[in-house]
Amino acid sequence: MANAVVSEKTVLGVEAGGAVVEGLVALAAVVLAILGIIGLMPLYMASIASILIGAALLAQGSAIASEYSKLLSRLSGGSFGTIELGTGTTAEFVIGGAAVTLGILALVNIHPQILLPAAVIAIGAALVLTSGATTRLNELKLEAAKAGEVAHTMARSAVSSAAGAQMLAGFATIVLGIIALVMATDVMTMTLVGLLVGSAALTLSASALSGKMLGALRREGMGS
């Protein structure tokens, strides 16, 4: 029993660390997007920001794929949205890889005026598609960690709010990408704004997840 509790806490700790890394990568993309908006090598800043956001999505998808089956097996019933989780994970892998590829192609100056807005649209779609999956997975994590009712309530509220904000940010990012794609002027500005919104949403989502997971670990440690 003690070993099972330690294992559950280890899973929670690993996931919290992964969320911290994802948040830092997304935060770096925020900084690059801002630098591009103020006129510092906007093409390069947008390209690198797209690569970083894609890497953050790949990291998130990899973490979900590696842990979600383990979490499901630990829970009796397992009646959570497994289809929704699978859809979100697939979207993160596919769109994350696409964002990285498009960013690299734009970085070597292959049709950046088209590829970067397309990357923004893809990132927005990933935010929309994964918002529900993130909520479901966080519920599984709390169940597996056997967090108390107070921890459950606080984490569920915070994560649900973050998921709703992520979905809204995803739709805003899609709109900005479409505008950039059809505009004849200021394409890079609208692209950078879209990247800024998308990376900020990922940063906030990762921060909410890591903060609540670490908080649950502290509460469990105090209770043991």
Domain ranges of the chain: 15-72+80-212
Instruction: Quote the pTM value.
Output: 0.76
Could you tell me the CA-to-CA distances from 159 to 136, 138, 162 in Å, in that order?
Answer: 10, 8, 5
Distance between CA atoms of residues 24 and 21, nearest Å: 5
pLDDT of the residue at 153 = 63
**String of b and e for 21-39 (b: at least 16 CB within 10 Å)?**
bbbebbbbbbebbbbbbee
DSSP-derived letter for residue 145 is T
Distance between CA atoms of residues 140 and 109, nearest Å: 43
DSSP 58-121: HHHHHHHHHHHHHHHHHSSS--S-HHHHHHHHHHHHHHHHHHHHHHHHHHTTSSHHHHHHHHHH
pLDDT of the residue at 4 = 45
DSSP-derived letter for residue 167 is H
pLDDT digit string (tens) for the chain, length 224 residues:
444 444 444 455 455 555 677 778 889 999 999 999 999 999 999 999 999 999 988 877 776 666 666 666 665 554 444 545 555 567 788 899 999 999 999 999 999 999 999 999 999 999 998 877 666 666 666 666 655 665 566 666 666 676 778 889 999 999 999 999 998 778 999 999 999 999 998 887 776 655 555 455 455 454 55
Distance between CA atoms of residues 149 and 164, nearest Å: 22
Distance spanning both ends of the chain, measured CA to CA? 13
Single-letter amino acid, residue 190: M
